[in-house]
Structure 1
Amino acid sequence: MEASKPPGITTSAAKLKLAAFLWLEGFKEACCLHRVVILCSRSRKLLVRTGQCFLLNGFIFLGSLFVLNSVVIPTLQWILPDQCSQFDSQKICDIGGSLKFYSFLRSGLIQFLYVFWFYPLYVFSIVLSTLWYNDIAKYGYDAMGRSKSTKEESSSQIKSSEKPNTSHIKRLSGLGGVMIGIGEQVYSILLLSVFFLKVYATGFIPFIGKVLNFLLLSWMYAYYNFEYKWNFNEVALDRRLDYFESSWAFFAGFGSPCVLAIFFFSPLVSYGIMAILFPLFVLTATGSRAEQEISFEKSKWRGARVGRLPIFYIADKVS
């Protein structure tokens, strides 16, 4: 007879399989970009805002970078060469300061373009895109035809997945509710800012830094994607964090396609690609049934629980 596996090994294997299935479900959920087409077909305002976001970040911003790298810099290299073989006259090449002067002039012109064109365009894109993202999420949410009962159902599903002894802030009506809402938004911004610094710091860790950076970025973008939906559903901040950390495998999978698209590019190119893709993933998150998917996968693995992972522990303590 074959020896039975110890209970601890069996439980660990079941948890690992459940985490893998949840990650895969999150990845598949993020790739359901057909929802963007459906929502845009229902709302002209959403279609216009999404088109404006693509025009600004894709055509203008990324197009400008493409023109710089493919046209401007090669032209400057031809006009102001830095190698003797590129000079027609050997006399010019014999002058020692010519190469240094041409190199300095070329670098100065490129930096001039960055300072007075690309960096202002970068800041302008961030500010305007942030405003547009909120509009896109709102129009997408309206296009879903969310009713009050749907809102309460989504909130209750998140609440039911939490621990029974978890204490939550009860939303008040009137001025008290407004103050709590403002406080949650300010704290959320501070929390995510500290978390972003942690993501940035992991990139400098030898050997495993890139892997940790990818994982933390996946969680960060997944949270950003779902935050708009949770805001419209009026889910309290502590419930969001508890639900997110309890379903960490699903959200790691959901954020992975977003990070894969930008992970191997330069910072400016990565921003341009992200600025195009981010509203698409926001709409995908808005139209998703993440609560049902997570509950369904967990129900298939009776007795197995991936457990809560304190993703925001450090950021929460610092905040």
Structure 2
Amino acid sequence: MLKQAATLWWLGVLESLNLQRCVVFLVLDSSKALGRAVVHCFVLNGCVLGGSTLLWECALLPAVQWLLRFLFAPVAGPLAARCAALLLQLCYHGLWLLPVYLVTMLVSCGIYNDVAKTAFLIKQKQRQQQDAHASTGQRPAGQAGAAGAGGGGGGGGLEDVAQEVYRVVLFCMFLGEVSLVGRLPYAGPALNVLFLSWLYAYYCFDYKWGLQGVRLAERLAYFERRWAFFAGFGLPMALSTALLPFYQGAAVLAVLFPVYILVACDSDVNAVHDRVMGKSGSGRLRHLPIFALAMWPTQRIVNSVAGGGEAGGGGAAVALGSGGGSGGMGT
């Protein structure tokens, strides 16, 4: 099983590097809305957020240090100069970088959603054209589940709202878990990269699964069954944040993220998994309860907000349902 997991992990890394798939989406998008969204994301995060970090690191900080060292320190002393440099850095981060980061992330969320919707519609249109040209009248192999998943969503209304609330709380808890894991001695940095890989990979595919109408419990179960592949798929994104300072890593990730959403929309996880495990071997790679630790506090929070009544039972159903198998999801 270890060899198969390592193979799936490596195939996940290779799958995430198939960036040429983005070009196909851009070519097939007759409205050019996809290209504009990607450009807007690059300008917003690469130029505004990334430029702000580089402005401080490459221009403002050296200038401030020079002025403090040669003009301020001889008068007030080196300790006062260091304190003044720290105060100026905190002011720049708190009054400029942090607001810019929050605004760009908020605006980028809408851009990511538009990118995913446009790519999903392009993929659907492509499948319909393939179905129309198929002489047998059957869907292409590996696409039947995806084409039919649109009707498998939640019951609508309050159930969809409850699922969304549960999802937001769950991933806030999981993000906190990632931060705590990264502080562990010795193994902390490696575990942090692993958990970030899972987190970013889930974010990329979650847009696609949501548009297909897949329930949250099925998404989590499917992800935990294919944990090795998704650990590899999210690795490039995780490294971009783990190896860079916070704001620089955030800018790089925000620029790359729409690209990986497009790659996820065109990825067939089942085909990659079946190539390694065999079509009847999905049970040989053991289920890994990645989200189990985050589910416990999530369940308590949701139950306390809902009053612990029937609404809490709905949250429990979502949590418990994530342990089942969802190998048939068309991804």
Band the TM-score falls in, shorter-chain normalisation: 0.7 to 0.9
Q: In the alignment, which residue of structure 2 is the partner of 1:307?
A: 286
Q: Do the aligned partners of residues 87 and 238 (structure 1) sit closer, same or farther apart at CA in structure 2, a change above 3 Å counting? A: closer
Q: In the alignment, which residue of structure 2 is the partner of 1:119?
A: 98
Q: In the alignment, which residue of structure 2 is the partner of 1:20?
A: 6
Q: In the alignment, which residue of structure 2 is the partner of 1:57?
A: 45
Q: Please state how far the C-alpha of 1:108 moved relative to its aligned partner.
A: 3.2
Q: In the alignment, which residue of structure 2 is the partner of 1:164?
A: none
Which of 188, 191, 195 is 1:209 aligned to? Answer: 188
**What's the TM-score, normalizing by structure 2?**
0.78
Q: Please state how far the C-alpha of 1:113 moved relative to its aligned partner.
A: 2.2
What secondary structure is seen at the aligned counterpart in 2 of 1:177? coil
Bigger CA radius of gyration: 1
Which of 130, 142, 152 is 2:121 aligned to? Answer: 142
Q: Please state how far the C-alpha of 1:232 moved relative to its aligned partner.
A: 0.8
What secondary structure is seen at the aligned counterpart in 1 of 2:35? helix
Rounded to whole Å, the distance in 2 between the matches of 1:316 and 1:74 is: 46
Q: Do the aligned partners of residues 157 and 206 (structure 1) sit closer, same or farther apart at CA in structure 2, a change above 3 Å counting? A: farther
Aligned AA for 2:10?
Answer: L
Q: Do the aligned partners of residues 316 and 104 (structure 1) sit closer, same or farther apart at CA in structure 2, a change above 3 Å counting? A: closer
| Matched ranges for 1:107-186 at <5 A | 107-146=86-125, 153-155=144-146, 171=153, 176-186=155-165
1:45 paired to 2:33: yes
Aligned AA for 1:52?
Answer: H
Rounded to whole Å, the distance in 1 between the matches of 2:35 and 2:266 is: 15
Give percent identity, aligned residues only: 31
Q: Do the aligned partners of residues 108 and 38 (structure 1) sit closer, same or farther apart at CA in structure 2, a change above 3 Å counting? A: same
Q: In the alignment, which residue of structure 1 is the partner of 2:316?
A: none
Q: In the alignment, which residue of structure 1 is the partner of 2:254?
A: 275
CA RMSD of aligned residues (A): 2.7
Rounded to whole Å, the distance in 2 between the matches of 1:303 and 1:186 is: 31
Rounded to whole Å, the distance in 1 between the matches of 2:177 and 2:238 is: 16
Tell me, yes or no, if the aligned pair for 2:124 and 2:147 is still in contact at 8 Å.
Answer: no
Q: Please state how far the C-alpha of 1:98 moved relative to its aligned partner.
A: 4.0
1:218 paired to 2:197: yes
Rounded to whole Å, the distance in 1 between the matches of 2:274 and 2:145 is: 12
Tell me, yes or no, if the aligned pair for 1:157 and 1:291 is still in contact at 8 Å.
Answer: no
